[in-house]
Chain A
Amino acid sequence: MIAEAGHYALVLALALALIQSTVPLLGARLNDAALMNVSRSSALAQFLFVGASFVALTWLHVTSDFSVLNVYENSHSMKPLLYKITGVWGNHEGSMLLWVSILALFGALVAAFGNNLPLSLRAHVLAVQAWIASAFYLFILITSNPFVRIANPPIEGRDLNPVLQDIGLAVHPPMLYLGYVGFSISFSFAAAALLEGRLDAAWARWVRPWTLMAWIFLTLGIAMGSYWAYYELGWGGWWFWDPVENASLMPWLAGTALLHSALVMEKRNALKVWTILLSILTFSLSLLGTFLVRSGVLTSVHAFATDPSRGVFILAILCVFIGGSLSLFAWRASALKQGGLFAPISREGSLVLNNLFLTTACATVFVGTLYPLALEVLTGDKISVGAPFFNLTFGPLMVPLLIAVPFGPLLAWKRGDLIAASQRLIAAGVVALLAVAVVWAWTTRGAALAPLAIGLAVFVIAGALVDVAERIALFRTAPAISLRRAAGLPRSAWGTLFAHAGLGVALIGIVCETTWNSEHIAAMKPGDSAKVAGYEFKFDGATQRQGPNYRELLTKFSVSADGRAIGAMTPSKRTFTTRGSSTTEAALMSRGVSQLYISLGDIAADGAVTVRIYHKPFVLLIWFGPVLMALGGLLSLSDRRLRVGAPKPARAPRALQPAE
């Protein structure tokens, strides 16, 4: 009964979404409050039903009900409870159900907490949200139904892909989806503004928390995914410029640009049309990511043919929403009123620069990801665009952006003074140069660019600190006054500090890891030992162990530094008989923010094990950076104050640039 009730709940959610996508628009047209309010109750009910459907599927997985095809294909009765639950979204159908559940969750949040929105704007936003939801409910029910039953159920399931049997699956996909889908709200707000034909600074105030929330989750989701790949895949890499990763990076870049341009719009009523366009683009890239990952087009263009209905359906959704919203944009954007004015050198100007670099970077990732696909479709040639391409295009774009980051917050609104800002950044520059000199003196090997890159990262961090120091007039007034000003500083300013500093921290991690990473690969027998980066690893031996649904070859290494034992590491290899595959469980040991990393390769007949040992200096900073950024976002989100961009009054009449 639970299986069928869950199925029916999903159908009811679709029916409610269809009502929610039409009735409020009718209400807005007739200016009838009750009809517009239907959007609210139906959004809440829709979330309730799709939530019930998700809970039902989870229940079926937990009780190993193999009369449900999805459970049979992806579960196993001996799997630990945690993986039975996470396995719900460790497959195509279940993950799409999670996707729409989160979509409905955001709709319900707008319905529940959108009291500060004008009635017709809320009705429009929820209607657009319901269009997206309807399309995806149909997609699930028609092509990827998780509630399909088997008449004569088998006694045992086929088990979840062993690589996914990890705590990472519990965290990474929900986070990433909260980010991906969260941008649907800014998309809905943009479409609603275009439909209504009204767009002003208040709009940016209303959409701010939703964009910020989506951005925080996407940041954490990407960082978590990267860390998961790092420890689970056993290659010690943390970013592969893999198309799936790029698919999540593109909305992040566009979303970051959106956050900044929405800031200009809220504070200065400028960049309105551009902000709307970015809202559309960000969610379109999220949809594109969903399409790339879910249609199977990524592994090869030909995998598309294995299940054409799915790929074609998502492609159709993609075309309708991206094409539709861009046409709406082309039709209505010219009618939007011009916003505030500003000089090229000003806070607004610096944010425009930020947007230019971020969107260009996003475009290079887009080209690098889709060009091989397009080429394969057109000519049948298979090429792979990898790290060298991205290092040569994405890298150089990031350098000027990072140099510009500390300048932005120091420039005044409307018209800024670059020389004054530079003077205030001298301290940061000096610290950065010192860092370059120290790193240069300290290291004897590695790329010559590395110390410069670290200097740049230090400049970004110091610049973020200088900004706050300037605002609270640190060292210029009495400490008591500075403290009072610090207390009065909006939390969003602290948010900026953390987010920008996080960028620098991540960069330090990336540079150190890629430049001074040491690696040692050897076939080792029990009793052998290896030396890597001053640490000695002694292979003590291997034992076999039986896990709940796998057998495990557990090896033990004693690690010592300068002859002093500092602990043991136990990398292992797990063999899953149901799927006939095995996974490598790498062992990690943190030394400060650096890590030692051991993973096992093939096992030879004579008992020798191929072992990869890495020493990864400062590697943890790569993920501390994004966590800091997310913390900054959270601080900014918690700041419910209004944002005001106080413009600097002109001293002398000067020609102003139009905003758009």
Chain B
Amino acid sequence: MTLWFVFAMMTAAAAFAVLWPLGRGSRAALAQGTEATVYKDQLAEVDRDAELGLIGPAEASAARVEISRRLLASDEAERAAPVAARRGPRRAVALFALIGLPVLALAIYLPLGSPLQDDQPLTARKQEPPQSQPLDALIAQVEAHLEKNPTDGRGWAVLAPVLAKTGRLPDAVRAYRNAITYAGDSAERRADLGEVIAAAAGGVITDEAKSEFERAVKLNPNEAKANYFLGLAAEQDGRPKDAAATWRGMLEKAGQDAPWRPMVQAQLARVEGAKMPDLPEGAAAAAQNMSPAERSAMIQGMVDKLAAKLKQNGDDVDGWLRLVRAYMVMGDAEKAKGAQAEARQAVSGNAERLKQLNDGLKNLGLDG
């Protein structure tokens, strides 16, 4: 309610500003300057300068003649004095100020403003009970705390998985690194770090991710996550046999009740069975209902189409990267290398694109 009262007062003040001069009649009109005043002041100025000797007598009299001429001209054309009040137009303006002004102001304000929303200064909000705060707010609080105490390893360890879940992958990478630095190294953390690095690279196990998994396995040879991803890395590098060996080893060592057993078994079946590569881009839903052979053909077709398109127009850096990645996922290292060389040749004329391509290839775990 207070808000509407304040609005009403403000509107009244604005309307008053328009009404005020209308009610004052024409006495105020007398307080105005004229050109004649300026020229008379100029004449006085000439006299003062001549007296001081700043201008010679001849110049002074010439100046007086000129200014007097202007004075005469201005008197001839002096603006006509304001006539008596025009009641009609004044009333119309007054009426507009009283009715039109509030209507206009509200018509503009209401679609733009949020009159029902209160101010929410930070100090007032910090006193609210914490459970009413959304996840983002809690993350922000922890981040603010870590900003001030960057060596709090436990804080980083708590924050990292939350960041990974909310999709802030690069931040999650940083958080895991800090957790390892300040809260101690462990196989689990290394594996988690590798996982977010790979997730940030769009699912490709980059060299960076791979080295984290390798460190994890060094710390604990039975680290399931790291082993699984090392298998995946082998598959992406075009060594499906090594991948299968890694995963088989995991299944042999682990007990029957390991929660990840079904997933690894499925992966193992996939590489050993149809040698079925993942879909390179999208189309997963469509491929769901096909037989392995059909799916394989469909993917091959899509990849061939992409390759043909790029042969015609080689400017598309993203396209090249997609193609290289597709060959890698399909386990065809030879073709991936070939595509890489072709891509370099296609964009070699443009330094910016070449850099983009090299960066992209680096991200895929290939040398830049």
State which of A23, A149, A488, A551 has its C-beta within 8 Å of the C-beta of B117.
A149
Q: Does A596 contact B (CB under 8 A)?
A: no
- A65/B113 contact (C-beta < 8 A), A41-B17, A485-B53, A577-B147 known: no
Q: Does A8 contact B (CB under 8 A)?
A: yes
- Encode A547-574 as 1/0 by CB contact (under 8 A) with B: 0010100000000000000000000000
| Residue among B23, B112, B136, B141 with max Cβ neighbours from chain A (10 Å) | B112
Nearest to A268 among chain B residues (CB) is B66
Q: Does B165 contact A (CB under 8 A)?
A: no
- Encode B71-111 as 1/0 by CB contact (under 8 A) with A: 00110010110110110011001001100010011001100
Q: Which residues of A contact B140 (CB under 8 A)?
A: 154-156
Q: Does A7 contact B (CB under 8 A)?
A: yes
B20 touches A118 (CB 8 A): no
CB distance from A554 to the nearest CB of B (A): 17
Within 8 A of B (CB), among A174-191: none
Q: Give complex CA distance A149, B93 in Å.
A: 35
Stretch of B37-45, B156-164, B205-213, B312-320 on the interface side: B37-45
Q: Majority SS of interface residues in chain B?
A: helix
A1 touches B119 (CB 8 A): yes
Q: Which residues of A contact B89 (CB under 8 A)?
A: 26-27, 30, 32, 35
B82 touches A119 (CB 8 A): yes
Stretch of B7-15, B279-287, B326-334 on the interface side: B7-15
Q: Which residues of A contact B53 (CB under 8 A)?
A: 485
CB distance from A404 to the nearest CB of B (A): 23
CB distance from A481 to the nearest CB of B (A): 8
Q: Which residues of A contact B59 (CB under 8 A)?
A: 412-413, 646-649
Stretch of A14-22, A318-326, A494-502, A623-631 on the interface side: A14-22
Q: Which residues of B contact A147 (CB under 8 A)?
A: 112-113
Q: Give complex CA distance A648, B66 in Å.
A: 12
Q: Does A344 contact B (CB under 8 A)?
A: no
B18 touches A8 (CB 8 A): no
Q: Does A78 contact B (CB under 8 A)?
A: yes
CB distance from B35 to the nearest CB of A (A): 4
Q: Give complex CA distance A485, B83 in Å.
A: 48
Q: Which residues of B contact A256 (CB under 8 A)?
A: none
B42 touches A642 (CB 8 A): yes
Q: Give complex CA distance A268, B67 in Å.
A: 9
Question: Could you tell me how many residues of chain A have their Cβ less than 8 Å away from some Cβ of chain B?
Answer: 89
Q: Does B131 contact A (CB under 8 A)?
A: no
Nearest to A29 among chain B residues (CB) is B89
Nearest to A122 among chain B residues (CB) is B32
Q: Which residues of A contact B125 (CB under 8 A)?
A: 153, 155
B74 touches A65 (CB 8 A): no
State which of B18, B90, B122 has its C-beta within 8 Å of the C-beta of A64.
B122
- A31/B80 contact (C-beta < 8 A), A66-B122, A154-B136 known: yes
B2 touches A644 (CB 8 A): no
A117 touches B33 (CB 8 A): yes
Q: Which residues of B contact A642 (CB under 8 A)?
A: 38, 41-42, 44-45
Q: Give complex CA distance A615, B77 in Å.
A: 64
B82 touches A8 (CB 8 A): no
State which of B26, B58, B117 has its C-beta within 8 Å of the C-beta of A33.
B26
B33 touches A7 (CB 8 A): no
Q: Does B258 contact A (CB under 8 A)?
A: no
A35 touches B22 (CB 8 A): yes
- A12/B38 contact (C-beta < 8 A), A19-B101, A23-B93, A65-B122 known: no
Q: Give complex CA distance A159, B6 in Å.
A: 32
Stretch of A195-203, A288-296, A361-369 on the interface side: A195-203
Q: Which residues of A contact B14 (CB under 8 A)?
A: 12, 15-16, 45, 49
B10 touches A9 (CB 8 A): yes
- A12/B11 contact (C-beta < 8 A), A488-B54, A644-B42 known: yes
Within 8 A of B (CB), among A219-261: none
B46 touches A154 (CB 8 A): no
- A646/B38 contact (C-beta < 8 A), A19-B96, A41-B18 known: no
Q: Does B70 contact A (CB under 8 A)?
A: yes
CB distance from B121 to the nearest CB of A (A): 4
Q: Which residues of A contact B144 (CB under 8 A)?
A: 78, 156
Q: Does B63 contact A (CB under 8 A)?
A: yes
Nearest to A152 among chain B residues (CB) is B134
Q: Does A520 contact B (CB under 8 A)?
A: no
Q: Which residues of A contact B256 (CB under 8 A)?
A: none
Q: Does B349 contact A (CB under 8 A)?
A: no
State which of B20, B66, B136 has its C-beta within 8 Å of the C-beta of A155.
B136
CB distance from B51 to the nearest CB of A (A): 9
B83 touches A31 (CB 8 A): yes
Q: Give complex CA distance A594, B52 in Å.
A: 43
- CB-defined A-B contacts under 8 Å, sample of 17: A1-B6, A4-B113, A4-B115, A12-B14, A26-B93, A31-B82, A37-B28, A78-B147, A116-B37, A155-B141, A156-B143, A206-B33, A484-B52, A546-B148, A642-B42, A644-B42, A646-B46
The 5 lowest CB-CB distance pairs between A and B, nearest first, are A33-B29, A45-B17, A63-B121, A116-B33, A37-B21
Interface residues of A (CB under 8 A from B): 1-5, 7-9, 11-12, 14-16, 18-19, 23, 26-27, 30-38, 40-42, 44-45, 48-49, 60, 63-67, 77-78, 115-120, 122, 141, 145, 147, 149, 151-156, 198, 200-202, 205-206, 268-269, 340, 412-414, 471, 484-485, 488-489, 546, 549, 551, 577, 641-649
Beyond the given pairs A37-B28, A201-B70, A471-B54, 4 more chain A to chain B contacts, judged by CB atoms under 8 angstroms and listed by A's residue number, are A1-B6, A45-B14, A119-B29, A414-B62
